Structure 1
Amino acid sequence: MQATLAASRALMGVMARSMASVLDQITLPQFRVLVLLSTSGALRTGALAERSGVHASTLTRTADRLVRGGWVRRLENPLSRREVLIELTDAGAALVREVTERRAAEAAEILSRLSPEGREQVLAGFEAFATAAAEPTPQDLLVLGA
């Protein structure tokens, strides 16, 4: 368990450094919403709340802040005019790309310090951990209703 906690702290450090330049603009929960939208496309508020693990009312407040910041926009659902979709703006997509690229660069640099066998073991461990945590893959997020 100690190794898991140590790795978790290291990953939190990578995440914090990758977001350091944007934390004055957006919170971590708001960024999570942007990441979900970047992988799934426009979503209904209820579906986005479910995937975010929050109540719909909490997601509505988060979306309000993201709309004001120019990171997302609300759209009328073409399939049901009573429903509203939330969609990432170009600015929101750019923010997700920027943070993800920084995170990937630092992770690659850290992994480069390992032997090829060590890298394979770590990557296999990450995949197993993500599966056990039921973290949806980008492909899973593209399935309607997932």
Structure 2
Amino acid sequence: MDSDKSLILQQQIQQFIRLFGVLEQNKTPCGAPINITQAHALHELSSAGAITQQELANRLYIDKSTTSRLIDAFVKKGFVLRTTNPHNRRETLISITDQGRRANDQVEKRRRAKYQKILDGIPLDKQPEVLSALSHLIQSLKKEKENTMTEE
């Protein structure tokens, strides 16, 4: 039955969230002393260059008010700069500072080590299956998220 599969999926994702450490409020699953949203934002800003607050919100799938609070906190920590877009003076661009890049580098180092440990715990012959299943799950989540966003 599909409802049985749905329940199993729910239970497995809940277990994954708990074991991975997503419920920790003040540190990332890899143990970095910032929250998960901040870690993901630093990663995006590190690779993107200067982007708008809305573009960051879109990349992280979070709302404008959450993004605004996130950027405010980053400005206070010296992780980002806000500048006026020279091509559109009504827009503000967000860019990562050297201090923000160093913080991101520390998180990335921990993240790589954590993911390697997880991968090492999966038999070599099963790793392609796991990665493929995750790709399918991500595509399904993206579709569901896009449908939810258009309904709002």
Structure with bigger RCO (C-alpha 8 Å, 6+ apart)? 1
Picking from 112, 122, 128, the partner of 2:130 is 122
**TM-score in terms of structure 1 length:** 0.72
Deviation at 1:38, TM superposition (A): 2.2
The alpha carbon displacement at 1:17 in A equals 4.2
State the distance in 2 between where 1:5 and 1:54 align: 20
Alignment-mate amino acid for residue 33 of structure 2: V
**1:16: which partner in 2?**
28
The superposition leaves residues 72-97 of structure 1 with CA deviations (integer Å, 9 ceiling, x where unpaired) of 11122121223210011122122222
Structure with the larger helix share: 2
Instruction: Tell me how far apart the structure 2 counterparts of residues 57 and 113 of structure 1 sit (CA, whole Å).
Output: 39
Task: Deviation per CA, 1:33-90: give whole Å up to 9, x if none.
Answer: 2222223221112322333344434423321221110111112212122321001112
Structure 2 partner of 1:46? 54
Aligned residues: percent identity? Answer: 28
Task: Provide the C-alpha distance between the structure 2 equivalents of 1:46 and 1:103, rounded to a whole number of angstroms.
Answer: 26
Query: What does 1:79-118 align with in structure 2 at a 5 Å threshold?
Result: 79-118=87-126
Cα distance in structure 2, aligned partners of 1:94 and 1:62: 18
Unaligned runs of 5+ in 2: 1-8, 144-152
| Structure number with bigger Rg | 2
Give the Cα–Cα distance (whole angstroms) in 1 for the partners of residues 114 and 142 of structure 2. Answer: 24
Determine if contact 2:75/2:81 at 8 Å carries over to the other structure: yes
User: Which structure 1 segments of 5+ residues have no match?
Assistant: 136-146
Counterpart Cα distance in 1 of 2:54 and 2:121? 43
1:35 paired residue among 43, 59, 66: 43
TM-score by length of 2: 0.70
3-state SS of paired residue (2:20): helix
Partner Cα distance (1:49, 1:4) in 2: 24
